[in-house]
Chain A
Amino acid sequence: MATTEEVKKLATLARIKLADAELEKFTGEFDTILGYVGQLEKLNLPQNVGGEKPPLRNIMRKDGDSHAHAAHTEKLAEQFSAREGNALRVKQIIQHD
């Protein structure tokens, strides 16, 4: 059983704020959804699962020719929430108090 405290903790971790009413609703729904996916716990799987080598694995590619310097700067900077020249302005991270 999920509790409102647990769901609240998850929301904090996920950087989302939930209103009280929503917290209640989500907690109830979580029970139903986790009840359903919980069937996996009872699923007996063969011991030798996994260990197979997939035909394509993530590998690092060699550096190739890059784009021209600053080719995308303007387009990217246009999307910034707060801009100073070509820099992204953010709030102070370290607090002194």
Chain B
Amino acid sequence: MTRLNEMTIVEAARALRARECTVRELWDACIKAIEEKNPELHAYLEIFPADDAAIAAAQKRIDNDGEKAPLLCGIPLAIKDNILIEGNIVSAASKMLENYRATYDATVISKLKEQGALFLGRTNMDEFAMGSSTEHSAFGKTLNPHDISRVPGGSSGGSATAVAAHLAIAALGSDTGGSIRQPAALTGLVGLKPTYGAVSRSGLIAMGSSLDQIGPLAKSVSDAEILYDAIRGKDTLDATSIPEGLYEERKVPQQFRIGVPWHLLREGVDADVLAAFEAMLKRLTNAGHSLVDIELPTSSHALAAYYVIMPAEVSTNLARLDGIRYGHFSNGKTLLDDYINSRTEGFGEETRRRILLGTFVLSSGYIDAYYRKADAARAVLRREYRDAFEKADIIAFPTTPSPAFKFGEKSDPLSMYLEDIFTVTANLTGMPAISVPMGTVVRDGKKLPVGIHFTAPHQAESVLFACGNAVEKAF
């Protein structure tokens, strides 16, 4: 039998209902795995003490309601360290918020609590979600369980490693430019970035407010769907959250028309990653789905637009952190010194770099050349995608150009930024996107997972899940 902590949500929910294990045993199995492996992998920044009342309540609910109990009832989850859980520290992996205690629950946490889900701990990440490797965490890096000399991706790298190494049944992350999908791809998981507004951002520490979404990292497409269903919905605490049916409804087809922008894949993608992608497409066409050649000309400028819009929003959002009302405080001679000292000591290098970039692109004299141009490019991208969805149900490319890279390998900022080249577009257009494992490639004698990435029209998550299921079936 699979060890309890190695189960998926679907398997664990079934085992709990069949009384093959108790909620306590499932929790303990995860904690035991964490105690064994977390000191090396560093997926978690903090393990929460067992909430005996919540564990007992979940068990009682399963005992009483059986099949009617929510699927997440009694399931231990890992939560990224930028999602607020009342009473717990939430640091965004920054010295700035090292001792900050959440004063309320994020909406996604309230929803998960209503379902009876349990929280194992908070997971490591790049500081304020800025990075693609977790190397920018103020509290040390997280290792990839497939090869510990390599990064797990980021910024939700702690959540990815926690699930991939079976230190949690599933996890929540956040995605501003690929921060769920890229680590999911590099650790062999399914990662979903929902439609912008599908999931409330209330209680998520903001990075780029027009781009951020919370979403699941899971061991299967079904698990990702269960978590997504549990956390989504319009929320009065987030004015950008959207109601059901805001966008045109998309039917889930039996046979998918898969749009592939080959013109974006001609260079920059590792040969074996491209081969794995083509092999997966072949399996899908063998299963009766068809391929459509599509053009997304502005996509090659998406990363440039993203690296204008995102830092602009970062510099604005992080301006609130001045050490006065909460967060790291460093005493100076004047109030201005207080601000400067607190921010200089509290923010790490990448955070400072992006704040300065954002300050630059928003400064008068440059705002037209950079910010307004990027915003216009964003509108064009959205239109190109919408046109492409006239002839394709879904758009596919590899999630990343390469498998997990080694620590320190991308030491110059731009090469790290290029890691997001395929994923940022979904954040710019607000469309939902999923990464699903598509096989492995070999580096230094080790098999490393890579992912296939699908984008669907706004609010067409059901199309993504169906396509993800088709990929899982095609293996």
CB-contacts of B331-358 with A (<8 A): 334-336, 338-341, 343-344, 347, 349, 352-353, 355-357
By beta carbon, the residue of chain A nearest B304 is A37
The secondary-structure label for the interface of chain B is: helix
Query: What distance in Å separates the Cβ of A70 from its nearest Cβ neighbour in chain B?
Result: 13
Q: Is B279 an interface residue (CB 8 A)?
A: no
Q: How far is the CA of A90 from the CA of B363 in the complex (A)?
A: 29
Residues B307-343 near A (CB distance < 8 A): 307-308, 315, 319, 322-327, 329, 334-336, 338-341, 343
- B375 → chain A closest CB, angstroms: 8
User: Whole-angstrom distance between the alpha carbons of A46 and B326 in the complex?
Assistant: 46
Q: A69 on the interface (CB 8 Å rule)?
A: no
**In whole angstroms, how far apart are the Cα atoms of A55 and B242 in the complex?**
9
Are A16 and B347 touching (Cβ within 8 A)?
Answer: yes
A56, B357: Cα distance in complex, Å: 29
Contact B338 A91 (CB under 8 A): yes
Contact (Cβ within 8 A) A40 B353: no
B265 within 8 Å of A by Cβ?
no
Q: A50 vs B381: C-alpha distance in the bound complex, in angstroms?
A: 11
Contact A10 B356 (CB under 8 A): yes
The answer on a CB contact under 8 Å between A26 and B344 is no
User: Nearest Cβ in chain A — how far from B38, in angstroms?
Assistant: 28
A62-97 at interface with B (beta carbon < 8 Å)? 64, 72, 75-76, 78-82, 88, 90-93, 95
Q: A10-B360, A16-B355 are in contact. List 15 more A-B contacts (CB 8 A).
A: A16-B352, A16-B356, A33-B414, A36-B414, A40-B305, A45-B298, A45-B373, A56-B246, A61-B236, A75-B103, A76-B325, A78-B101, A79-B103, A79-B325, A82-B329
Q: Report which A residues bind B (CB closer than 8 A).
A: 6-7, 10-11, 13-18, 22, 26, 29-30, 32-34, 36-41, 43, 45-46, 49-50, 52, 55-56, 58-59, 61, 64, 72, 75-76, 78-82, 88, 90-93, 95
User: Which 4 A-B residue pairs are closest in the complex by CB-CB distance?
Assistant: A81-B329, A79-B326, A75-B103, A91-B335
